[in-house]
Amino acid sequence: MTIPNLPSLWAMQPEALTALADTLNQGPDARGPGRSEEQQAPLYTVEDGLAVIPVQGAMSKHGLQFFGWRLLFSMREIAAALKEVAADTSVRAIMLDVDSPGGTVDGIEELALAVRTAAAAKPLYAWADGLMASAAYWMASGARRIAAPATAQVGSIGVISMHREFSKALEGAGVRYTILAAGHYKAAGNAVEPLSDEMRAYLQEGIDAVYELFLSAVEQGRGVSREKTLAMADGKIFIAGEALKAGLIDRICSREEFIKQIKQEWTMNLAELRAQHPELEQELRAELEKDRAPALENARAEGAKEEQARLIGLACAVLGDAAETLKTVVQSGVTVEQIRALQPLMQPAAKAGTAQPADPDPYRKDALDALGKAAAAPADVAPDQPAGDDFMALVNAKISEGKSKGQAMHEVARDNPEAHAVWLKNVQKESK
């Protein structure tokens, strides 16, 4: 019988790792810590908006099936479930339902990242349903809150590697192995020769490096200092009361109470939020204002455009043919001051012996033409610019091409700003 090769580095309770190795050595009739294919639970369930993801048993990156018996649960399947519930619009919050001694180092950082990503999308909690040890705690440390019943065991933060040596047994059986390798450390930790001090130190370096990653994950996930992290990460397993004092968990309660608390948190109203978490309310308001500012600015701009279009439409209905000149004035951005400077030009000659204009239509046309002439006037005009006669010559040329006077003046002012500026300055002088 071929026994599957186990990974070399584990974040797992030592006794659970030993039991797993013994199960594999005993063969297919052994019934260790696993489930048959028929007993496998779904990746998650959803009830009243809460997605519950079971994490039960030892874990490895891809899982391990042995003669139809699941000995290791797949970290990647758990990560896939996290990704799915994070995208599920019916899910309001996520709870990891954990009963696990840990698992392999390979794959746990990927799973921990999946937890942090899901927690950024939706509130994520973890429940220690009996045992939350080593890699299982590494994963759960990214949760918003961790709770456990009074009898639960939590902790065992550390990294372990199991080295088994069979040189004496092989010698007694008359079997002799010769290791052939290129690279001084290539055969470090092999099972057919004793482990030297040098090779032990080399393997310990790798274990220490992974342990540092574990500490960083707990430090970041629990929001505690390195000093406090080291106090809870010496490999000990804690009963729930001790785990609470050490800062490993946040609450001791029943599973039903914890789920009730989770649901209460996502239905908290504004008054409760303001009373219990004033700093969070301020942060949320600031974030909303930040997101709303561009939308308000766009709304104001759109409103201004709509109002301008409405006013132009009303003017068109009143002014008829002269509306084109008005459009030119509005679109050019002419200022109120410029229009006021031209007001004297907008008064037509009166009929002899009366105070009435000679002709209402010429009055309206002269006024609108004067506005059109002011449409693109610059704020400042240099005193040494050329005479403005050229401007009207260009305007007349445009009119001879069939353009209206307002349109002609707009195009010439746009293409010949200097001539237009001098012409406008002369008009303003004449009006004084």
Which residue numbers are catalytic?
A: 134, 186
DSSP letter string, 228-246: HHHHH-SS-EEEHHHHHHH
Task: Give CA–CA dist 425/382, Å, rounded.
Answer: 10
For 160, 212, 315, 316, 397, the CA distances from 373, given in Å and listed in that order, are: 87, 76, 19, 19, 16
Q: Of 160, 82, 154, which Cα lies nearest the Cα of 125? A: 82
Residue 346 makes CB contacts below 8 A (sequence gap 6+) with 363, 366, 367, 370
Report how far Cα 207 is from the mean position of its chain's Cα atoms.
Answer: 33
Cβ-contact 190, 202 below 8 angstroms: no
Cβ-contact 319, 405 below 8 angstroms: no
Q: Of 80, 79, 87, 144, which Cα lies nearest the Cα of 108? A: 79
Cβ-contact 240, 252 below 8 angstroms: yes
Query: Angle 171-177-181 (CA atoms, 0-180°, nearest 5)?
Result: 150
DSSP state of 357: B
Angle between helices 323-332 and 278-319 (to 10 degrees): 150
Task: Give CA–CA dist 217/226, Å, rounded.
Answer: 11
Task: Give CA–CA dist 152/158, Å, rounded.
Answer: 18
